[in-house]
Structure 1
Amino acid sequence: MKNRFAVAALAALSFALVAVPSMVVSKPDAYAAALASPDRTDEDKARDAARHPAELLAFAGVKPGDKVGDFVIGGGYFTRLFSAVVGPKGHVYAYQPAEFIKYNPDYQKPLDAVAKLSNVTPESFSLGAIAFPEKLDVLWTAQNYHDLHLGQATPAQLAAINKGLFDSLKPGGVFLVIDHYAPDGTGDTLSAKLHRIDIETVKTELKAAGFVLEGESDVLRNKEDPRTVSVFDDSIKGKTDQFVLKFRKPKA
């Protein structure tokens, strides 16, 4: 989530395959069907060209029947896609931090919207007490990981959040992280100002939590982004240089 409320919200951080009659839909067909889902908004569809959702879903391996956690849902763009892909035998947990909602009740609105989907459950537990109702096949966070680095959470708190995410996955489960590139070597020093993060910082922190980096995708790269302006700057908004990292929880 990338807006002016994020810093204040994190300041409040407390630790307190779809079955159809007589056939099985393949994953590519499931992705095409998801993109065409009537549950998606016109705004969602307008963003598809820039967000490459089918490629990202394929890279993560999201499939019908999966249990998926959308970690900080923003407006619900990916939640609606997950709902369509996993189908009636799968389930999606759409998460918005309690700290965000407490600071600004508007953060509840996207949860209320996706709650109308039959296979989606809204969740709003504290970042300090991550506890999805069941173990997940896939965790996903899009343009949100840097928001944990806005200067309000301590290193110990960040490590606890990542451990909570790790523990939420089934053995062999995937954690997909999408975020805006910061200049190499800057760590999280520009996260509060530019809403970006150094890719190596993400790798280091999640490996420390127990995740294994399985792959990277260049599908959202834009080398014309200087990485030195805010992601909300009109010159780059909606077309930032972004990394996509696929982590996996070891099976043993």
Structure 2
Amino acid sequence: MKITITIIVLTLVLSFVSTARAADSNIEQRLTELASSSERSAEHIARNRYRNPAETLSFFGIKPDMAVLEIWPGRGWYTEILAPFLKEQGQLTIAQFRQNDGNLKDDRAIFWARLSATLAARLNEQGAYFGTVHQIELEPPFLQPALAKEQFDLVLSFRNAHIWDESGHLLATLQTLYDVVKPGGVLGLVEHRAATLSDTTSVAVEGYLDESYVIAAAEQAGFKLVERSEINANLLDSKDHPKGVYTLPPTLALGNYNRALYLAIGESDRMTLKFIKSAE
């Protein structure tokens, strides 16, 4: 009798594991399809090899019924994948750059505002593809308008942390994000990774951040690191370029100078970190 019960339990467990694996496989397959969608430009599709969107989003544990917040989507590179993936069962919210109300003076902020306006217009024009995408703003360290706490299953930030750190808002911005994540929810963070010299020191030229520093900041904000991945690593990146990370594609800040070299290196070496907000 005991043997029979054990066999039944084992069969059920194996069936559950098999079903879960199949579901995960289907999710990654769907993400892969969206990453190569005809709705995306050839330039965006070409960057899949460096950004590995299907693998990255799967690593963060995305599911089609989640409430997801994407921080500073820029030109919408990830939004093009996230919005159609979530539109049937879930909900995507994007935290755009601050709108230009005529008071922006900084050239970079004006440029970013233009990117956000262009993306907003595209979301409106291609509603059938994107579905309903909620839009707010992030003016570090605050979301505008302020959101109710604990409403997102997953918050995603791709290569934003170094900008928050430059302005002195890294910790406070992470604390803002912590507040809007549900207990048990995830912060998925990808960032340009500085060269590590030892367990306690690193070299962080423009645009790069030390991985241990980012982890410490997120954990000080309340998150707990549960896993890190080398999905977006690039061993060819020496991280000592004349204009920092902006020397590499897609920016290529040096123009035609050593262009072939920097194209051969590809996009930056990146940390990929999965944090959780304790359910306790």
Q: Same fold (TM over 0.5)?
A: yes
| TM-score, L = length of structure 1 | 0.78
How many equivalent pairs are there? Answer: 222
Q: Which residue in the other structure is 1:231 paired with? A: 245
Deviation at 1:112, TM superposition (A): 2.9
Q: Which structure's CA Rg is the greater one?
A: 2
Deviation at 1:43, TM superposition (A): 2.4
CA distance in 1, matches of 2:100, 2:174: 18
1:71-220 to structure 2, matched below 5 A, reads: 71-98=71-98, 102=104, 103-104=109-110, 105-108=113-116, 109-115=118-124, 116=127, 117-130=130-143, 131-132=146-147, 135-150=151-166, 152-153=167-168, 157-184=169-196, 190=204, 194-220=206-232
CA distance in 1, matches of 2:164, 2:187: 16
- Higher helix share goes to which structure? 2
Deviation at 1:99, TM superposition (A): 7.2
CA distance in 2, matches of 1:36, 1:242: 22
CA distance in 1, matches of 2:61, 2:80: 16
Q: Which amino acid aligns with 1:46?
A: A
Q: Which residue in the other structure is 1:21 paired with? A: none
Deviation at 1:26, TM superposition (A): 3.4
Output one character per residue of 1:92-115: Cα deviation in whole Å (capped at 9) or x when no partner.
112223278843141322233234
Bigger mean CA deviation after superposition, 201-210 or 130-139: 130-139
Q: 1:197 to 1:186 in 2, by over 3 A?
A: farther
Output one character per residue of 1:194-217: Cα deviation in whole Å (capped at 9) or x when no partner.
211111110000000110101111
Q: Which amino acid aligns with 1:111?
A: A
Q: 1:73 to 1:121 in 2, by over 3 A?
A: same
Q: Which residue in the other structure is 1:39 paired with? A: 39
Percent identity between matched residues is 24
Deviation at 1:125, TM superposition (A): 4.3
SS of match in other structure, 1:77: coil
Deviation at 1:176, TM superposition (A): 0.9
Instruction: Specify every segment of 5 or more residues in structure 2 that has no aligned partner in the other structure, as ranges.
Output: 1-22, 248-258
Deviation at 1:36, TM superposition (A): 4.2
| TM-score, L = length of structure 2 | 0.71
CA distance in 1, matches of 2:207, 2:36: 31
- Give yes or no for contact 1:33–1:84 (8 Å, CA) kept in 2: no
Output one character per residue of 1:17-43: Cα deviation in whole Å (capped at 9) or x when no partner.
xxxxxxx99323322342244433332
- Give yes or no for contact 1:132–1:168 (8 Å, CA) kept in 2: yes
Deviation at 1:132, TM superposition (A): 4.2
Q: Which amino acid aligns with 2:115?
A: Y
Output one character per residue of 1:118-158: Cα deviation in whole Å (capped at 9) or x when no partner.
231222243232234671111111111111122x32xxx43
Q: 1:90 to 1:135 in 2, by over 3 A?
A: same
Bigger mean CA deviation after superposition, 134-143 or 212-221: 134-143
Q: Which residue in the other structure is 1:4 paired with? A: none
CA distance in 2, matches of 1:38, 1:90: 22
Bigger mean CA deviation after superposition, 103-112 or 197-206: 103-112
- Give yes or no for contact 2:222–2:277 (8 Å, CA) kept in 1: yes
CA distance in 2, matches of 1:204, 1:100: 33
- Give yes or no for contact 2:230–2:271 (8 Å, CA) kept in 1: yes
Structure 2 residue aligned with 1:241, among 248, 255, 269? Answer: 269
- Structure of higher RCO (CA pairs closer than 8 Å, 6+ residues apart): 1
CA distance in 2, matches of 1:139, 1:79: 13
